[in-house]
A and B are shown apart, each in its own frame.
Chain A
Amino acid sequence: MKIKDRQILLFAVICAALWFRSPILEGYIIPTFGNTMYHVGIIRKTMETMYYPLYELSYGGGFRHFYVPAYRLLIASMAITSGIDPMPLSGMMTLAIALFIALMLYSLGRRIYDNHYVGLCAALFFVISPELTIFSSRALPQSLGLFMIPLTLYFVLREQRLLSVLAAMATALTHQMTLLVLVLTLLIYSVLQLRDKNKFLSAFVPLLAACATYGIWQMYTMQTLDIFSISQVKYHEGTVVDWKLFARAGLVVIPFSIIGFIRTFLSDHMPRDRKLLMLSWFAATLLLTKNELFGVSIFMDRFFTFWVECMVIFAGFGLFYSLNYLDGLLNKVGTK
């Protein structure tokens, strides 16, 4: 079997992604910003009792959980299987999840633009985006969410209904903000595909599955579907995404994502469903990121991470398009 250039390049991008995150394992403890050790606590409790706890260890404890369990159960089961303590294992799994995010962005970019090199460029932008580095270098459910979104969208695009339903259900149990991103993306896409029954159902069925899964889980844990009384909503936890925070998407990512965005929607060759899916993802994450404009003001900065994830796919195409354009220019210089 001959190893192709693009496989070597993908391997190099993955190595860079892992190298950037290797300090996670070098310290005496994993990075602690963003409640990472809180999740380790619930994982440890699950391992010690062999039950997923219904009651919190947080803030004095004794009240019912709000959080969803998929990430914690994944780490707990890996820790039980491997015999490794959940604290260092959380760090190791962060590296593994980052690797899968890079591969998933490569696969989705390749699928949407029918081009390996666009996928490669998208994976490269994942590595060089500060925002995505920050949220895929800490042992948090959001990093798994950053993998679940492109995975579910990949199955939706391929109209693999069973897999997209399973992925949507897993997303619902991974991270609440990820779920909101997925639900809004699929809702916009469903509406845009109302005229095509098959494509409509390919998005709407996983959307329903995700909502039902989450609803059942929340009824089980909190015994109510009301999420408006949680502290994050009550105290409007979140930071407005200003220009300074926006720059954290990556000073190189931003211009190429603009080029990619414009070229995507100007292209006559790209299938309509792919354009609509990218448009839905972009619109959903933009609306959630700027939710303060609608008086919501919750987790704007956290939704921004998912917007950046969508931007790196556009940036991948933008870079590919720019290099092709440059190639054409240089060829012209050569023939003169």
Chain B
Amino acid sequence: MKRARKNALIIAILFVLVIASMVQVKKQADPWLVPLVAKGEVEATMWIKENTSLEDRFAADIFGGELIMGMTTRIPLVGGDWANAPNAAQNMADAERIYLTTSPGKASSLCKEHNCTYVFVPLQRQIHAGYGWKNVETTKFSDANHFELAYENQDVQIYRVIY
């Protein structure tokens, strides 16, 4: 076989292998490379940085908590490394309860139990506190006896816990 033809055949084989692989890479890697949090949640961290103190604690889910941690160094109830955390599983269960319960009193007392001063409530996505993706029950946060709306945009609301 002539050298040029042989080289063309080898290059064609390599090309097919690479293209097939790239399709697999795209299909399998893309779901791991998404932001998960909404743009408004990122914008809200600017407000947190400017209007809260380093001592404030946030009730948030894992991804909201890590966003708050990453952008502001404020401490969330869940998120980050659980290796050495004394009550990680309890924190996860309580964070989920804060979001899922319909009772404003129950949500408020759980926040107080963990010294949380704010609740970070995503509006455009489900929350994940360690036990799967769940829908947020948002109406309880409008109870003025327990929570006060401190910040909101199209993607998130941040409530101050009334002590």
Which residue of A has the minimal Cβ distance to B2?
Answer: A334
Contact yes or no, A37 B32, CB < 8 A: no
Interfacial chain B residues near A57, Cβ < 8 Å: 69, 73-76, 80
Contact yes or no, B25 A58, CB < 8 A: no
Interfacial chain A residues near B81, Cβ < 8 Å: 35, 38, 56, 58-59, 66-67
B interface residue count range (under 10 / 10 to 19 / 20 to 34 / 35 or more): 35 or more
Which of A41, A323, A326, A327 gathers most chain B CB within 10 Å? A41
Take A137-B33, A326-B10 as given contacts and tell me if A87 and B70 are in contact as well, using a CB distance cutoff of 8 Å. yes
Contact yes or no, B33 A59, CB < 8 A: no
Partner of B85, one of A45, A59, A138, A222: A59
Bound complex: CA A248 to CA B70 (Å): 30
Interfacial chain A residues near B35, Cβ < 8 Å: 27-32
Take A29-B37, A230-B84, A326-B10 as given contacts and tell me if A134 and B79 are in contact as well, using a CB distance cutoff of 8 Å. no
Q: Contact residues of B with A, CB < 8 Å?
A: 1-2, 6, 9-10, 13-14, 17-18, 20-22, 24-25, 27-29, 32-37, 39, 42, 57, 63, 66-67, 69-71, 73-89, 91, 114-115
Residue A51 at the B interface, CB < 8 A?
Answer: no
Residue A290 at the B interface, CB < 8 A?
Answer: no
Bound complex: CA A38 to CA B73 (Å): 9
Interfacial chain B residues near A137, Cβ < 8 Å: 29, 32-33
Report the count of interface residues on A (CB-CB < 8 A). Answer: 60
Residue A130 at the B interface, CB < 8 A?
Answer: yes
Interfacial chain A residues near B24, Cβ < 8 Å: 128, 130, 250-252
Partner of A58, one of B10, B13, B85: B85
Interfacial chain A residues near B91, Cβ < 8 Å: 59-60
Take A56-B84, A251-B20 as given contacts and tell me if A24 and B10 are in contact as well, using a CB distance cutoff of 8 Å. no
Contact yes or no, B9 A59, CB < 8 A: no
Contact yes or no, B80 A41, CB < 8 A: yes
Interface string of A14-58 (1 = CB under 8 A from B): 000000100110011111111111111100110010000000111
The 9 lowest CB-CB distance pairs between A and B, nearest first, are A58-B80, A37-B70, A128-B21, A41-B69, A40-B70, A59-B85, A66-B83, A130-B28, A61-B75
